[in-house]
Amino acid sequence: MPELTVVIPEYNEENNVVPMHGRLVDALAELVNGLEILYVDDGSSDGTWAQICGLAERDPQVRGLRFARNFGHQAALTAGVDAARGRAVVIIDGDMQDPPEVIPEMVARWREGFEVVYGQREKREGETWFKRVTASLFYRILQRITNVEIPVDTGDFRLMGPRAVTAFRALPERNRFIRGLVSWIGFPQTAVLYHRQARQTGETKFPVRKMIRFALDGITSFSFFPLRLATWTGFAVSTFAFLYIVVVLALKALGVSWLGYTSLMASILFLGGVQLLMIGILGEYMARIFDEVKRRPLYLVGERTDGEEGVIPPERPLA
Ligand code: UDP
Ligand code: MG
């Protein structure tokens, strides 16, 4: 049994696979007692899978899984953790934004007794100010509205010890906001600070649309705050409406009344907007509940380099 498995999700990263592998092997040589490097090809349409197969032929430490189609970053990470044979698991991006040279420090903290060691971004290079500002804002809002201590400015780059890995594999949900789930697990956790670098080649697979969906996944998985917001908005609007009615009736009794087209339109449009917004919030939760109850597998494996047959994910004990 290897001591460490490094899980790397790859989606159309044909030019990153080999350089990343070189850096990883250099950084981890002699570090651990048995190393496994597990590539998960998330349904790439370029030469990524061929590159992974090439590595697997040359380097016995390498294994590769290929999804039947693109199931998304979080599903790829889950598949990697499910299939890992190492005692501890490191998750790292395949585009060299998370430097593999940080892994030895993570391993050292793990050996000191920490069960989870997450990478915390001290600095982000080569990302637009829009991404930096929205990401920073998102992590801070999320921290305010959840009970789970999700550390700010962390991604999925982290090491999980054997107990954390076992716990993670048991989590049954389809909507996986992994950085939150790992915090939820508990055990002693600590951070390692690092500089997030610019992407080497290729482009980000997270356009704004996907970023928003991911942010909503995080919020709905770990907080009821938006639902409470609906309740409190309801209270506030009802209180105001009640007071307003009293005033209008009093004025009417005094003989003051006027044609109220403007105020009528304002209140109808305002209430209509608020109601649709609140239905939208309900919808976000409901769609996710629907997703959970369908109980479709999180991912399907099409090909693999290790000769095993597994196509569907392993049973989750708590599911
Ligand atoms: N990725 C993936 N499936 C996807 C999108 C991304 O496996 O649907 C991989 C991608 O190849 C990379 C990592 O996840 O190794 C992080 O993606 P990306 O660099 O595009 O995200 P960003 O760093 O821009 O947030
Ligand atoms: Mg990236």
CB 155 within 8 A of CB 121: yes
Confidence (pLDDT) at 318: 61
254 and 121 part of one domain: no
Of all residues in the chain, the percent with pLDDT exceeding 70 is 99
Give tens-digit pLDDT for 78-126: 999 999 999 999 999 999 899 999 999 999 999 999 999 999 988 777 7
Number of H helices, E strands in the chain: 10, 8
Nearest residue by C-alpha to atom 24 in ligand 1: 204
Is 310 domain-assigned? Answer: no
Residue 205 CA: nearest ligand 1 atom is 20
Instruction: Please give the full DSSP string across 169-216, using - where no structure is assigned.
Output: HH---SS--HHHHHHHH-SSEEEEEEEEPPP-SS--S--HHHHHHHHH
Task: Report how far residue 84's alpha carbon sits from residue 76's, in angstroms, rounded to the nearest whole number.
Answer: 12
What backbone phi and psi angles, to 5 degrees, belong to 86?
A: -75, 160
Is 87 domain-assigned? Answer: yes
Is 44 domain-assigned? Answer: yes
197 and 71 part of one domain: yes
Confidence (pLDDT) at 84: 96
Question: What is the domain range of residue 111?
Answer: 4-207+297-304
Question: How far apart are the CA of 15 and the centre of ligand 2, in A?
Answer: 13
Number of domains forming the structure of the chain:
2
Is 317 domain-assigned? Answer: no
26 and 160 part of one domain: yes
Average pLDDT over residues 255-261: 77
Is 115 domain-assigned? Answer: yes
Using DSSP's 3-state secondary structure scheme, residue 103 falls into helix
Is 130 domain-assigned? Answer: yes
Question: How far apart are the CA of 12 and the centre of ligand 1, in A?
Answer: 9
Q: Does the model's pTM come out above 0.85?
A: yes
171 and 285 part of one domain: no
197 and 269 part of one domain: no
Instruction: Please give the full DSSP string across 17-66, using - where no structure is assigned.
Output: HHHHHHHHHHHHTTTSSSEEEEEEE-S-SSTHHHHHHHHHHH-TTEEEEE
Question: How far apart are the CA of 210 and the centre of ligand 2, in A?
Answer: 13
Is 24 domain-assigned? Answer: yes
240 and 147 part of one domain: no
Is 97 domain-assigned? Answer: yes
281 and 137 part of one domain: no
